[in-house]
Amino acid sequence: MSPTTLNCPTCKATVVWSDKFPFRPFCSQRCQQIDFGDWAQESFAIKGAALLDPEMLDADQLTKELMDAGLIDPDLLDSDLPD
Over residues 49-64, the pLDDT tens digits come to 766 666 777 778 778 8
Identify the DSSP state of 3. P
Same domain, residue pair 36 and 54 = no
Regarding whether 31 and 12 lie in a shared domain, the answer is yes
0.75 exceeded by pTM:
no
Owning domain of residue 71: 50-77
- Sequence-distant (6+) residues with CB within 8 A of 14 are 5, 6, 7, 8, 27
* Residue 27: pLDDT band with limits 50, 70, 90: very high
Count of domains in the chain? 2
73 within a domain of the structure (yes/no): yes
